Structure formats: structure tokens, C-alpha cells
Amino acid sequence: MLRISSLDAPPTSISENQGWPLFNTSATRQIEKACASRLPPHTLMERAGLAIARLAMALAPHAQRIWIACGPGNNGGDGFEAATQLQVRLPHTRIMVSQVREPSQLPADAQISWHKAQQAGVQWVSNCPSDLSPQDLCIDALLGIGIHHRADRKPSDADQRLQQLLKQVTQSVCPVLCLDIASGLDANTGQYLPEFAPHAMSNPSPRHTLALLTLQPGLFTAQGRDACGQIWWNDLGCGIASHQADASTTQPVAHLSTIANLQAKPRQHTSHKGSFGDVAVLGGEGLSQRGLSMTGAAWLAALAALHSGAGRVMLALLDEHAPQGIPPWPEIMLRRPSAQDWSQPTVVCGCGGGEAVQAWLPHILGQAPQLVLDADALNAIAASPALAQQLTARAARQQPTILTPHPLEAARLLQTSTTAIQAHRLQACLQLAQKFQCTALLKGSGTVIANAQRKIWVNSSGNARLASGGTGDVLAGLIGALWAQGSNADEAAIQGAFKHGHTADQWPADRPFSAGALAMHLAQ
Ligand SMILES: NC(=O)C1=CN([C@@H]2O[C@H](COP(=O)(O)OP(=O)(O)OC[C@H]3O[C@@H](n4cnc5c(N)ncnc54)[C@H](O)[C@@H]3O)[C@@H](O)[C@H]2O)[C@@H](O)CC1
């Protein structure tokens, strides 16, 4: 959950009542420049120090020691500034600082804060104190948004010192509060830079990150969620949290979808099953084809659609020998693929589709008015330029499509590697949306949604419970149901991703989790 920490009060939990703008680092620099130009010099760093100190006191109220690792730039300056504020406020707590660079080599703002910390009586230590305990606090002020990759040069002494301190932060026994973003992480992509990759192995200590001024995509996707932990945000009084100025003239790269994107539409008393749309699922290759039954995947998608409010759900299994008679969920209507009219319902195609789905794709791509393509349907399209062309042509016929690939499927569709997809998740998702003229949803930690008009959203819900077989099929069915009920393609994908993750976030600790259980609890 995202929380905001206010300058004037202790940090409070905020309503997740809107989609928050996410700015990349260059836009953040522009906003910072504009804010700084309206304020007396050094004010932003002072405000940052105050916000950090307040959050630190709230996170570790019983800390006897607070150790701050300060880097070579203004992120380190924030650390010195916070040290001063903490020293003044907590006379009985040992406030300790380690630095990477001599003060004369620091940027101007950071130098001022360094001197203030010295004057306040902060203690300088060369390394992480060995007596930190779990109730103490470690503050990571090593690297913020100024990080850049340095492949072509030998590490300097300062670089080695920075690595040494970062290792100590990573191995700390107490909670870690990262300033702006976890050190080593690219704020635009959520990926560790190669030279900092070892630090991706985060220790089990709780992690918090206080984002300063703006929120950035890297906090919420790829390795960002594990690295940054609980996100807090303080806009340093620049009006971004209240959607005022500066941010309105600088374009966000994406929006963070939150609970507000889950709009449950009230149902009228006069409504009937036809009011909430039909979902038809095509998938589930049978045992008889290749000895690899995947009918469960199609059932999961149908079950999810049923429990997400679709008026009627039809299931066409790619399995001629599927047992006939009453299905395990009698509300779901079984169909032979050839008997189903694919030109009417919202179609969810591909879950467990195996090789059998391929033969149906030309017909489905031609007929389905609204189409969610998942799993083996995506693999078949990736392998066939003719199918890919047919998919792209749908948009011009006003037949919208939603693609729901995981990173490997996305890599196949874009003819690249999973590593390349994960290195730039937002860009990869946007590329998919533009290439196929559709709404694309790239699954994974911090699911990304993009459309062909270059709009991007990052989903804020979900956890590692979802890393189990079948949850993707549930997502496809859920999105199909939301779409059938009247959302547009983007809304269905955004709301579906949020609901899917939110249901997993709310999962009771004593209830066993499985994709089937998830599908049946989507209505809660
Ligand atoms: N100037 C200000 O008043 C404000 C500064 N802020 C803070 O300032 C940060 C940005 O400051 P900077 O632009 O100085 O950037 P950083 O402090 O994030 O990093 C820049 C420093 O890191 C070094 N560095 C970069 N990549 C490296 C690598 N791969 N290996 C080793 N060293 C590397 C650079 O040489 C430079 O010394 C923000 O993240 C935020 O914490 C914010 O508090 C807003 C206000």
C-alpha cells in the first residue's frame, strides 16, 4: 500500500483514492528545478531531511541507534540533513553517519547539510555499527535518482567504498529506510544496475522507502517492490500530492493504478443476466491430443468470469473427449467450439490452449468483437506472421483486443529475450500495445498495462501468492468478465489486474491459496 508522509504531521496512511502520476527521472529533475526556483536555496533538502526524520521516528520509535549511510551526491545530502533533524529531536538516541566522500567533493547542497550535521553533534563512524539491534534503524542515503551505469570505467575508491557501505546496509539486522529509492535501483525501470545486482538479494529485514518529491515507476515494478518494500511519499510541499502545478506541466510517464480504479458499478433492480454480458472461453487442450491435458486452465478462466459478475459464461474445451453431462459448475455452459457463435460474446482465448488453439485462431481473430488473448494463443501468434497480421488488423475493424502475456510470452511476441523485457517493462508493454494496436498487460511483479495511444499504468496490488500455476488463467477470465459488463478494454485490464492482486493481498492467512480458490473469491 502507498502511504503519504506529510510535512506538518507524523506520517499517516492515505486513501488510495486516485491513480498517482509516476514521473521518470528527467521529469523529476524538471519538477525539482521548478519547485526549487520558487523557494529559498536549500529549502527542498531541508524539507526532505525533516520528512525523513519524522518517518524514521515513526518507523523505529524505540530505536537506540540510527545509522545513516550517506552517498556521494544529494541523496547523501538528504541523509546528512536527516541526521541533523534526528540529532535535535532524539537527544538520547545515537545518530551515526558514514560517508562515501569528503565534504569538499560533495555537491553544494549536500555540503551545507554535511556541515549542519557536524555542528549538531552527529557521530561519524566508518562502518555500520556492530551493535545495531532489530529495533534500531538503518537509513540508506547512498544513491537516489542520480545513479548511472558505468560499464566502461574501473571502479574508483569512492565506488568501492559505496559498494562496501551498500553491502552493510543490505546485511543490516534492523529495518532499512531507503531515501527516494533503494540504492542501486534504476528509478525508471525498477531494475538493479549490473554493478549493484548482488544487492538485489535483499535480507529479511523490513524495508521502507520514502519517495521524495515524485513517485517513480521503478518503485512499483520489476525488482522495485522487493527492493523498496513499503512505499511512503512526501512531495516536499510542492503540490504534487494534491495535484497542483509543476506536475501538471510535466507529463507523467505512467499512472499507478490503485483501489480507486476498482469501481463497482451498482446493479439496477431491473437488470437481468443479459445486462452483464456473455463471456465465452476457448482453451483447454485435452489429454487425447498430446497426452498433456490443460483443460483446468480453461476451467479456471471460466470460473473467474463466473465469479466476477459476467451474466453468462460459456466454455468451449479443445477436447473432443471431455466428459459430457453436468459440469462441476453447472452455471458454466459447455460448448463444442464449432457450436459456439464467436461473434457475440467477449472471448477469452488461449488458456491451456496447447497446440490445438492454433487452428481456431483465424476464426476467433476474425469474429470475436472483444477478445482477451492469453497463454498459448499468444505463443501461436508469436510463431505466425499471418496470425500476427490478423491480430493487428482487428483494431481498424473496431474489434478491440487485450493481450495478457507473462514476460516469456511477451519476449516471444517481440522477438527478444525475457531479460530484455524485464529490463524495460514499461517500454516493452508499450511496444506490444503499439505493435498489435491493442491493450497490453505485462504480468509480473508490478503488472504494467499500456494502450496504443501511449498511455501506461502500473498496478499497485498483488503479492508472491500469485506466483503459482493457474493464476494467469484467473486473470484472463476476470478481465473478460469486467469487459463484458461494460468497461472499456483499458479499464477492464486495469481493474482486473488490481482486483486480482487485491484479492491476493486480502487473503486470510489461514485459508489455503490456489488459483481455483482465488477464482471463487473474486466476488468478495
Ligand atoms: N537537490 C536537492 O535539493 C534535492 C535532492 N534530493 C535528493 O537528491 C537525489 C538526487 O541527487 P543527485 O543528483 O546528486 O544523485 P544521487 O545522490 O542519487 O547520486 C549521484 C552520485 O552518485 C554517483 N554515482 C552515480 N552512479 C554511480 C554508480 N553506478 N556507481 C557509483 N557511484 C555512482 C555520482 O557520481 C554522484 O556522485 C534524489 O534522489 C534525492 O534523494 C531530493 O531530496 C530533492 C531535493
Q: What is the pLDDT along the chain (524 residues), one digit of tens a residue?
A: 667 666 665 554 444 445 789 999 999 999 999 999 999 999 999 999 999 999 999 999 999 999 999 999 999 999 999 999 999 999 999 999 999 999 999 999 999 999 999 999 999 999 999 999 999 999 999 999 999 988 777 888 889 999 999 999 999 999 999 999 999 999 999 999 999 987 766 667 899 999 999 999 999 999 999 999 999 999 999 988 776 555 557 899 999 998 776 767 788 888 888 888 999 999 999 998 899 989 999 999 999 999 999 999 999 999 988 766 677 889 999 999 999 999 999 999 999 999 999 999 999 999 999 999 999 999 999 999 999 999 999 999 999 999 999 999 999 999 999 999 999 999 999 999 999 999 999 999 999 999 999 999 999 999 999 999 999 999 999 999 999 999 999 999 999 999 999 999 999 999 999 999 999 999 86
Would you state the pLDDT for residue 155? 86
Domain contains 262:
no
Helix, strand, coil shares of the chain, percent, nearest 5, are 40, 15, 40
Q: How close is the Cα of 73 to the center of ligand 1, in Å?
A: 4
Kindly state if the Cβ of 11 falls inside 6 Å of ligand 1.
no
Q: How far apart are CA 361 and CA 298, in angstroms?
A: 16
Kindly state if the Cβ of 46 falls inside 6 Å of ligand 1.
no
What CATH number should be reported for the domain holding residue 321?
3.40.1190.20
Kindly state if the Cβ of 45 falls inside 6 Å of ligand 1.
yes
Q: Tell which one of 30, 50, 147, 238 to mutate to probe ligand 1, the residue whose CB is within 8 A of the most ligand atoms.
A: 147
What CATH number should be reported for the domain holding residue 120?
3.40.50.10260
The H or E element that residue 77 is part of is helix 74-89
Please classify residue 173 by burial: count the beta carbons closer than 10 Å to its beta carbon, then call 0-12 exposed, 13-18 middle and 19+ buried: middle
Q: Which atom of ligand 1 is nearest to the CA of 71?
A: 17
* Shared-domain flag, residues 248 and 281: no
Question: Which DSSP letter does residue 217 get?
Answer: G
Would you state the pLDDT for residue 14? 43
Return all residues near 423 (Cβ < 8 A) that are at least 6 apart.
189, 191
Kindly state if the Cβ of 195 falls inside 6 Å of ligand 1.
yes
Domain contains 261:
no
For residue range 139-181, list pLDDT tens digits in order: 999 999 999 988 777 888 889 999 999 999 999 999 999 999 9
Kindly state if the Cβ of 146 falls inside 6 Å of ligand 1.
yes
* Shared-domain flag, residues 221 and 302: no
* Shared-domain flag, residues 248 and 295: no
| Max Cα–Cα distance, the chain, nearest Å | 82
Helices (H), 350-405: 357-367, 375-382, 385-393
Of the candidates 247, 145, 142, the one whose C-alpha atom is nearest the C-alpha of residue 187 is 145
Would you state the pLDDT for residue 13? 43
Q: How far apart are CA 130 and CA 128, in angstroms?
A: 6
Residue 339: give the domain boundaries. 277-506+514-520
**Residue nearest atom 7 of ligand 1, based on CA coordinates:** 75
* Shared-domain flag, residues 227 and 349: no
Question: Which DSSP letter does residue 236 get?
Answer: T
Return all residues near 283 (Cβ < 8 A) that are at least 6 apart.
294, 297, 298, 301, 317, 318, 348, 349, 350, 351, 352, 353, 357, 374, 375, 376, 377, 473
Kindly state if the Cβ of 428 falls inside 6 Å of ligand 1.
no
Kindly state if the Cβ of 33 falls inside 6 Å of ligand 1.
no
Q: How close is the Cα of 301 to the center of ligand 1, in Å?
A: 46
Q: Tell which one of 29, 55, 70, 74 to mutate to probe ligand 1, the residue whose CB is within 8 A of the most ligand atoms.
A: 74
* Shared-domain flag, residues 196 and 303: no
- Asked if 396 and 420 count as a contact pair (C-beta separation under 8 A), the reply is no
Kindly state if the Cβ of 73 falls inside 6 Å of ligand 1.
yes
Q: How far apart are CA 178 and CA 165, in angstroms?
A: 13
Q: How far apart are CA 468 and CA 499, in angstroms?
A: 17
Domain contains 443:
yes
Kindly state if the Cβ of 505 falls inside 6 Å of ligand 1.
no
pTM (predicted TM-score): 0.94
**Residue nearest atom 32 of ligand 1, based on CA coordinates:** 159
Q: How close is the Cα of 147 to the center of ligand 1, in Å?
A: 6
Q: How far apart are CA 118 and CA 512, in angstroms?
A: 54
Q: How far apart are CA 412 and CA 260, in angstroms?
A: 33
Kindly state if the Cβ of 29 falls inside 6 Å of ligand 1.
no
Kindly state if the Cβ of 179 falls inside 6 Å of ligand 1.
yes
* Shared-domain flag, residues 108 and 31: yes
Domain contains 267:
no
Q: Which atom of ligand 1 is nearest to the CA of 48?
A: 43
* Shared-domain flag, residues 246 and 281: no
Which one of 253, 286, 310 terminates a domain? 253
Kindly state if the Cβ of 82 falls inside 6 Å of ligand 1.
no
Q: Which atom of ligand 1 is nearest to the CA of 149?
A: 29
Would you state the pLDDT for residue 248? 59
Kindly state if the Cβ of 72 falls inside 6 Å of ligand 1.
yes
Domain contains 191:
yes
Domain contains 266:
no
* Shared-domain flag, residues 341 and 397: yes
Domain contains 56:
yes
Domain contains 270:
no
Would you state the pLDDT for residue 243? 63
* Shared-domain flag, residues 232 and 361: no
* Shared-domain flag, residues 361 and 501: yes
The DSSP annotation for 439-470 comes to EEEE-SSS-EEE-TTS-EEEE----GGG-STT
Which one of 253, 287, 307 terminates a domain? 253
**Residue nearest atom 31 of ligand 1, based on CA coordinates:** 159
Q: How close is the Cα of 173 to the center of ligand 1, in Å?
A: 25
Question: Which DSSP letter does residue 454 get?
Answer: S
- Asked if 332 and 263 count as a contact pair (C-beta separation under 8 A), the reply is no
Would you state the pLDDT for residue 1? 64
* Shared-domain flag, residues 57 and 106: yes
In the chain, how many domains are there? 2
* Shared-domain flag, residues 291 and 223: no
- Asked if 158 and 101 count as a contact pair (C-beta separation under 8 A), the reply is yes
The dihedral region occupied by 507, where left means phi > 0, alpha psi between -120 and 50, and beta the remainder, is: beta
Question: Which DSSP letter does residue 252 get?
Answer: -
